[in-house]
Each structure stands twice: as C-alpha cells, then as structure tokens.
C-alpha cells in the first residue's frame, strides 16, 4: 500500500515576520533518500501560486514564492511524492530527500474474458451514443434514404423511439453539464429532449454558440458550474468555478505543463529566427503533432471535487467552492500503456482508467484513498472506441478491422466488483 505524503513544516526560527504578499526566492537541493545522489529534472509545483519548475543537473533548484503559507509538491518517476508546506521564508537551504517508490508502476493484468452483451443489430451502424438514465440514445451513420437516425432504446436493446434526420447533417452527440442533450453538426447544433420515451427537437443554434457557451461547461452542482479552457498551445488548463446566483468567478484552478510550455516558447523564437515564411496551417500542424492537450479532468464526486492532475502526479480533492482539502499521489499515468482516459461511474461514485495491450484493453479501478489501481476488466478486442461506465457496466463501441466506420456496434459488459 502506498505510504502517505510526507508533510514537513518549515518554520523560521530567526528574523521578523514576513509580509504574506512579499515575493521571495527559496533554494535547495533534491536527492535520493537512500544514496544522497542528486536528482535532475524533478517536477516542482507550487500549489498555492500554480507555478512550477524543474531541478537542475546537480539537483539544485530555486523558486519564487509570492505569498506565505505556500504548499510545494515534488514529484519524480519511481519516487514517492513529497509535499513541503512553508509558513514563512526558510532561513537555510532546503534539502528534499525523495523516497524510492515501494510499489512501482501499476501492473496491467489480463483476466478471463467476461460475458459481453450486444446491444445493437446489423440494421444500423453506431456513430455515437449517450447514456441517459436507464436509456441509450444512439446516433447512426447516414444511409441513402433517411440520412442519419436517432434511436432511443433501453439497456436490454428494446427500441423505444426512432427519428430519421433526413437532410440534417450531424457528427456526434453531447450531454451538457446541466443535463441538456445536444446533436452537433459542422456548422450548427441542435438541442433535443427525451420526453416520455420520445425524441424531440427543441432548438437550432450556430456551432460557435456551442463552442463558446456549452462545451466549456464540464460539470455542475446546486450552486456552481465548472468551466474548462485550454491556452498556450493547450499546455495550460484552467478551470473556473462560477456562481449560478451571482454569475461571477469564485475560484480558478490551473494545471500547467511547465516543460512543454518552455519548449513551445523556444519553438516560437526558433521559427522567428529561421526567417522562412511559415503559414498558419503549418504552425497548427506542428502544434498538434508536438503538443497534446493536457489531460487533467475535474470530476464532482458526491459533495467534493477531484482534479486528476496527471502533470504533477496527484489527485487533488477540493470543496465545491474550490478550497483544497487533501492530496493523493498517483503513478498509474506513468505507465506507457496508459490509455489517457478517466471513466466515472456516477451512480456508484467509482473512477476507472484504461490501458492498451497487444490483445486488447484492460480497465482498472482507481483507489481514491491511496491512488493505487486494481484490474476490473479485460476486453479481448483491439478496436474498442468510445467507452462509458454506468452502474457497474462498461458500454463501448467496437469496430471491425475492415471499414471500421461502417461496422461499429454497441456492447455492454459487467465490471468486476
């Protein structure tokens, strides 16, 4: 079992009180706790100011502290996370000793293939789907006569309603943070509703309205909504906590990939120095290739928030208002087979993640207390696409090797307890 984070309280024994808003510089060295050798490129993250840095070749580091108290987290592959709490500016050089991890990276176990239920038939091919309470809303691929279709069925596969979309060209389904269902096309979006097992169109709106107002909202509670935004070549991820009543931003959470952010700035300088004409499309293609968007989802679990900070390597639990409660260090994301996806079972308040293997995918349950994982399911299929988990079941799209887009079926399988 993973050891808890090591807390150190550094208290100044000499000197007067420091103004909480005064910027100061702290310095120190990071070493292996067993052999005292310096550790290079240790991730150093100031949770209070959301700024970060890395240790030098000789293990030394410096960091500006804008206010006290400050909480600083040191994380490094193969070592336990180290949390340092500074109440005031330290009077001596700080020595951080990282303990080698006693558990290592999570193992990807392959268990027996469970019973799989096929939820769709050969009369249509699934393009996208949503789980809406005890029903499944399916968007099919277009055919010559009726175009795309919306199909509403229950979990047993029984048809409840069917709506041909004819000339309405759409690509996917989206469920907003307030529960509204949206059907999205290239230039327009459509809000739809399910009333008494019937599919109804409510409104049509420009796609830009969806991108500006609906898509950024990723979660909600009784009093707040939570909005997401990527900036700086998608290397800064910001969450805003907005009051539903006052309509103002109460708190901001920020995740930063300092290393990629620094590299992106070097890219910009280099492109300017080369002097060759570079088109906007070429720059975008380069950014898409080199800088993947940060994946650190924010999820509401009961009466608190959980930020999956895969950049620093911990789960941060907060109040619904955004005040920090506790941290749980994680390592599952450092496994090269990690699928980079978090799956949340809202009904059972359980969180899962996935790994790729040569034979298929494995689904693991994340222990939110100590950050470890345990195998919950193995899928003997290499062509698994969209996955959702609800009430202990995994719903997923599976496609064939040939003409995958025209052979997608929806299936369901029970997760292990």
Tens of pLDDT, residues 263-294: 776 666 666 666 656 676 766 666 666 778 89
Number of other CB atoms surrounding residue 399 within 10 Å? 19
Question: Which pLDDT belongs to residue 50?
Answer: 67
Whole-angstrom CA distances from 66 to 95, 212, 282, 324 are 21, 33, 39, 18
| All domains of the chain in start order, with CATH | 6-98 (2.60.40.1120), 243-325 (no CATH)
Separation between Cα atoms, residue 44 and residue 57, nearest integer Å: 14
Q: Report the candidate in 332, 331, 328 with the shortest Cα–Cα distance to residue 354.
A: 332
- The answer to whether 50 touches 296, Cβ cutoff 8 Å, is no
Burial 69-89 (b: 16+ CB within 10 A, else e): ebbbbbbbeebbbbbbbbebb
N-terminal to C-terminal alpha carbon distance within the chain: 20
To which residue do tokens 């006052």 refer?
246
Question: Which pLDDT belongs to residue 221?
Answer: 95
What token pair was written down for 100? 């080698």
Low-confidence ranges of the chain (pLDDT < 70): 1-22, 50, 102-113, 265-278, 280, 282-289, 382, 400-406, 417
Question: Which pLDDT belongs to residue 76?
Answer: 81
pTM of the entire predicted model: 0.75
Question: Which pLDDT belongs to residue 91?
Answer: 86
- The answer to whether 393 touches 117, Cβ cutoff 8 Å, is no
- In DSSP terms, which residues pair with 253 in a beta bridge? 239
Question: Which pLDDT belongs to residue 280?
Answer: 65
**What's the maximum distance between 2 C-alpha atoms anywhere in the chain?**
82
What is the DSSP pairing of strand 24-32 with strand 94-98? parallel
Question: Which pLDDT belongs to residue 403?
Answer: 45
Question: Which pLDDT belongs to residue 42?
Answer: 86
Separation between Cα atoms, residue 364 and residue 106, nearest integer Å: 10
Sign of CA dihedral 85, 30, 318, 24: positive
Separation between Cα atoms, residue 136 and residue 128, nearest integer Å: 10
């Amino acid at each position: 079992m993973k050891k808890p984070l090591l807390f150190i309280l550094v208290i100044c024994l000499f000197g007067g009180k420091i103004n909480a808003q005064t910027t100061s510089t702290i310095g120190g060295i990071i070493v292996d706790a067993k052999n005292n050798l310096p550790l290079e490129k240790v991730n150093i993250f100031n949770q209070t100011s959301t700024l970060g840095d890395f240790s030098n070749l000789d293990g030394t580091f410096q960091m500006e502290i804008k206010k006290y108290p400050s909480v600083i987290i040191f994380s490094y592959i193969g070592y336990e996370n180290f949390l340092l709490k500074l109440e005031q500016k330290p009077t001596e050089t700080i020595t951080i000793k990282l303990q080698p991890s006693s558990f290592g990276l999570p193992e990807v176990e392959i268990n027996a293939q469970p019973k799989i239920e096929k939820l769709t038939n050969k009369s249509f091919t699934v393009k996208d789907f949503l789980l809406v309470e005890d029903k499944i809303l399916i968007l099919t691929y277009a055919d010559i006569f009726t175009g795309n279709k919306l199909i509403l069925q229950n979990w047993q596969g029984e048809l409840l309603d069917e709506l041909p979309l004819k000339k309405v060209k759409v690509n996917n389904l989206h469920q907003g943070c307030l529960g509204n269902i949206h059907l999205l096309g290239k230039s327009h979006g459509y809000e739809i509703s399910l009333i008494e097992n019937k599919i109804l169109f409510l409104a049509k709106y420009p796609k830009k309205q969806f991108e500006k107002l609906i898509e950024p909202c990723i979660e909600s509670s009784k009093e707040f909504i939570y909005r997401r935004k990527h900036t700086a070549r998608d290397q800064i991820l910001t969450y805003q906590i907005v009051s539903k009543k006052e309509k103002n931003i109460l708190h901001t959470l920020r995740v930063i990939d300092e290393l990629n952010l620094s590299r992106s700035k070097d890219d910009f300088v280099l492109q300017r120095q080369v002097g060759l004409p570079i088109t906007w499309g070429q720059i975008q293609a380069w950014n898409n290739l080199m800088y993947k968007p940060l994946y650190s989802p924010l999820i509401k679990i009961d009466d608190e928030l959980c930020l999956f900070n895969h950049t620093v390597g911990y789960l941060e639990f907060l109040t619904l208002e955004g005040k920090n409660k506790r941290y749980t260090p994680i390592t599952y994301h450092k496994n090269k087979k990690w699928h980079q996806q978090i799956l949340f079972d809202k009904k059972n308040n359980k969180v899962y993640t996935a790994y790729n293997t040569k034979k298929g995918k494995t689904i693991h349950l994340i222990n939110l207390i100590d950050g470890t994982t345990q195998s919950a399911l193995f899928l003997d299929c290499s062509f698994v696409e969209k996955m959702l988990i609800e009430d202990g079941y995994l719903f997923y799209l599976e496609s064939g090797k040939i003409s995958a887009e025209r052979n997608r079926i929806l299936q369901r399988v029970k997760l292990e307890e």
